A and B are shown apart, each in its own frame.
Chain A
Amino acid sequence: MKYIDGFRQGDAGKFLGKRIRENAAKLAAAHPPIFIMEVCGSHTMAISRFGIRDVLPDNVRLLSGPGCPVCVTDAGYIDAALTLAKRDVIIATFGDMVRVPGSSDSLADARSDGADVRVCYSPAQAVDIAAENPDREVVFMAIGFETTIAPVITLIPSAMARQLENLSLLTAFKLVPPALSALIADPEVKVDAFICPAHVSAIIGSNAYLPYVEQHGVPCVVCGFEPLDILFGIDNVVSQFLKGERLLVNQYNRVVKPDGNRAALALFEKYLIPVDAGWRGIGVIPQSGLGIKDEFEKFDAAMRFSVSTAGGAPDPGCMCGEVLKGKILPADCPMFGDACTPQHPVGPCMVSSEGSCAAHYKYER
Chain B
Amino acid sequence: MGDDKILLGHGGGGLLTRSLIDDEIVSRFGQGPLKGLPDGALLPAMKGRLVFSTDSFVVSPGFFPGGNIGDLAVHGTVNDVAVSGAKPMWLSLALIIEEGYAISDLRKILDAIKAAADDCQVQIVTGDTKVVRRGQCDGIYINTAGIGELIDGFDLNPNAIRPGDKVIVSGNLGDHGMAVMAAREGLGTGRLKSDSAPVHRLVQSILDVADKIRFMRDPTRGGMAATLNEVVADRDVGVLLDENRLPFSLEARGLSEMLGFDLLHVASEGRMMCVCDGAIANDVVNRWQTLPEGANACIIGEVKQDSGMNGRVVLETAIGGRRVVDVPQGELLPRIC
Interface residues of A (CB under 8 A from B): 1, 4, 8-10, 13-14, 16-17, 48-55, 121, 227-228, 231, 342-343, 353, 361-365
Among A1, A55, A228: residue with most chain B CB under 10 A: A1
Decide: B329 and A54 in contact? CB cutoff 8 A. no
Interface residues of B (CB under 8 A from A): 185, 244, 250, 253-254, 257, 260, 262, 315-324, 326, 329-330
Note all chain A residues with C-beta closer than 8 A to B321: 17, 50-55
Note all chain A residues with C-beta closer than 8 A to B260: 353
Note all chain A residues with C-beta closer than 8 A to B254: 1
The answer for the CA separation of A227 and B317 in the assembled complex, in Å, is 10
Q: In the assembled complex, how far is the CB of residue A125 from the closest CB belonging to chain B, in whole angstroms?
A: 11
Decide: A54 and B253 in contact? CB cutoff 8 A. no
B329 touches which of A1, A55, A121, A343 (Cβ 8 Å): A343
Note all chain B residues with C-beta closer than 8 A to A361: 326
Interface of A, helix, strand, loop or mixed by DSSP: helix
Decide: A55 and B326 in contact? CB cutoff 8 A. no
Decide: A342 and B319 in contact? CB cutoff 8 A. no
The answer for the CA separation of A365 and B311 in the assembled complex, in Å, is 12
Closest to A95 in B: B331
Closest to A119 in B: B331
Q: In the assembled complex, how far is the CB of residue B321 from the closest CB belonging to chain A, in whole angstroms?
A: 2
Note all chain A residues with C-beta closer than 8 A to B250: 1
Known: A51-B321, A53-B321, A54-B322. A121 touches B185 (CB 8 A): yes
The answer for the CA separation of A350 and B257 in the assembled complex, in Å, is 22
Q: In the assembled complex, how far is the CB of residue B265 from the closest CB belonging to chain A, in whole angstroms?
A: 10
Q: In the assembled complex, how far is the CB of residue A141 from the closest CB belonging to chain B, in whole angstroms?
A: 19
Decide: B319 and A50 in contact? CB cutoff 8 A. yes
Decide: A1 and B257 in contact? CB cutoff 8 A. yes
The answer for the CA separation of A55 and B330 in the assembled complex, in Å, is 30
A365 touches which of B315, B318, B324 (Cβ 8 Å): B324
Decide: A51 and B315 in contact? CB cutoff 8 A. yes
The answer for the CA separation of A4 and B257 in the assembled complex, in Å, is 9
- Taking A9-B318, A10-B320 as known contacts, 12 extra A-B pairs with beta carbons closer than 8 A to each other, sorted by chain A number, are A1-B253, A1-B254, A1-B257, A4-B257, A8-B319, A14-B319, A17-B319, A51-B319, A51-B320, A51-B323, A231-B319, A353-B260
Q: In the assembled complex, how far is the CB of residue B13 from the closest CB belonging to chain A, in whole angstroms?
A: 36
Decide: A13 and B257 in contact? CB cutoff 8 A. no
Closest to B249 in A: A1
Note all chain A residues with C-beta closer than 8 A to B316: 51
Closest to B314 in A: A51
9 A-B pairs in the complex with CB atoms less than 8 angstroms apart? A1-B257, A4-B257, A8-B318, A17-B320, A52-B319, A227-B319, A353-B260, A363-B324, A363-B326
The answer for the CA separation of A1 and B249 in the assembled complex, in Å, is 10
Decide: A364 and B323 in contact? CB cutoff 8 A. yes
Decide: A48 and B323 in contact? CB cutoff 8 A. yes
The answer for the CA separation of A332 and B253 in the assembled complex, in Å, is 34
Closest to A50 in B: B317
Q: In the assembled complex, how far is the CB of residue A294 from the closest CB belonging to chain B, in whole angstroms?
A: 37
Decide: B319 and A363 in contact? CB cutoff 8 A. no
Closest to A8 in B: B318
Decide: B318 and A227 in contact? CB cutoff 8 A. yes
The answer for the CA separation of A48 and B185 in the assembled complex, in Å, is 28
Closest to A354 in B: B260
The answer for the CA separation of A123 and B265 in the assembled complex, in Å, is 26
The 5 closest A-B pairs by CB, nearest first: A51-B321, A13-B319, A10-B318, A54-B321, A342-B329
Closest to A363 in B: B323
Decide: A54 and B318 in contact? CB cutoff 8 A. no
Known: A1-B254, A10-B244, A121-B185. A51 touches B330 (CB 8 A): no
Q: In the assembled complex, how far is the CB of residue B221 from the closest CB belonging to chain A, in whole angstroms?
A: 16
The answer for the CA separation of A37 and B317 in the assembled complex, in Å, is 22
The answer for the CA separation of A16 and B319 in the assembled complex, in Å, is 9
Q: In the assembled complex, how far is the CB of residue B329 from the closest CB belonging to chain A, in whole angstroms?
A: 4
Q: In the assembled complex, how far is the CB of residue B109 from the closest CB belonging to chain A, in whole angstroms?
A: 29
Q: In the assembled complex, how far is the CB of residue B332 from the closest CB belonging to chain A, in whole angstroms?
A: 11
Closest to B326 in A: A362
Known: A1-B257, A121-B185. A362 touches B319 (CB 8 A): no
Q: In the assembled complex, how far is the CB of residue A18 from the closest CB belonging to chain B, in whole angstroms?
A: 9
Note all chain B residues with C-beta closer than 8 A to A228: 319
Closest to A42 in B: B260
The answer for the CA separation of A252 and B317 in the assembled complex, in Å, is 22
